[in-house]
Amino acid sequence: MILRIIFFLTCFFQLSALYAAAFDFTPFRVRNLMPTTLVRTVAMAEPARLVTAGGYKVYFDLDLASNATTGGDAETQIHLDGETLQETLGVRYGVNEHIQIGFDLSWVNHKKGSLDGFIDDWHDFFGLPTGDRDDLPENDLSYRYQRNGEELFNIDDSVDGLGDLRLHLSWQLATSKPVATALHLSLKVPTGDADKMTGNEGWGLGLSLAQDYRISLGDGAMASFWGGIGGSWLEDGDILAEQVENWAANAWLGAGWSPNDRIALKVQLDTQTALYDSELEELGDPALILTLGGTIALTEQTFLDLGVEEDLAVNSSPDVSFHLGLSHVF
């Protein structure tokens, strides 16, 4: 196991050979892409340091999740086997030194698995549990749920469409070289399609508090710790409306180490309360996601995030997710 971790870190460090002149820590923008959770997403982790007055930050994220779980009881059956790809364009603008506005707009694609063999090898390589994956067909798409004999959703052909729009308003409560605190308000606008499970056609409102703390280690090295807590109100919408929880809480906690101005290694935990009232783990259990990876500074103002997400609370988030985020500050 130790040799495998060393191998992964060595490959990651090789990517840092690109030139860069500065580095900045930000949390992983983790999204729970379980299809029933994606349509009722709570606010994701936001930085504690806002964009400077008059400045812009633009980012493009690719998140690919492999879902592989099945469960049921006497009244309900759920089967989530497939891949979900979410592409997100985000913009943040510093109105002044205290206020930031922005938006996130995504495109969602539910499709047949293409990485099942690779993920099986990944689990074997790192000695990770496979859950229900061994009992499911490879490279399939089947998102379906039945309750009391009624089929409430069923997606077995590839679908894609516009996801929900999120509007953001943020306040910089405090900032200094070592410590920063910010308050984030987000509005979920129902631009997604419930029939395609790219949204639930319901509104949402989220409020979160983020903080980070940075420590200089000398010789250009730095460590950073960040965290946040949030709460969301989510409208019933058109997917499993009779079982939804209208209030949800989430939190994140992360740490990072940068040996120079080119690269940082990061680890982050994200958790959220259940979004549905159900005895099934896939719907009624809280989620806990571990993300490992880092950030590479491609230029002084351009950064590449790479991360792998694992479900520590099995069946309440995707089995494995991969995150790639490219951001540029203007």
Pairing between strand 320-329 and 76-94? unpaired
| Span 77-94, pLDDT tens digits | 999 999 999 999 999 999
Between residues 264 and 71, the one the model is more confident about: 264
| Span 138-168, pLDDT tens digits | 778 999 999 988 999 999 999 999 999 999 9
pLDDT at res. 116? 67
Quick count: other Cβ atoms within 10 Å of Cβ 9? 13
| Span 112-140, pLDDT tens digits | 877 766 776 766 676 666 566 666 677 78
| Span 259-315, pLDDT tens digits | 988 899 999 999 999 999 999 999 999 999 999 999 999 998 999 999 999 999 989
The pTM of this model reads 0.88
Mean pLDDT of the chain: 89
Q: Which residues contact 11 (CB under 8 A, 6 or more apart)?
A: none
pLDDT at res. 104? 97
pLDDT category of residue 45 using cuts at 50, 70 and 90: very high
In the predicted model, what is the mean pLDDT of residues 216-237? 94
Torsion angle (degrees, nearest 10) of CA 312, 313, 318, 320: 20
Pairing between strand 204-218 and 221-234? antiparallel
pLDDT at res. 1? 41
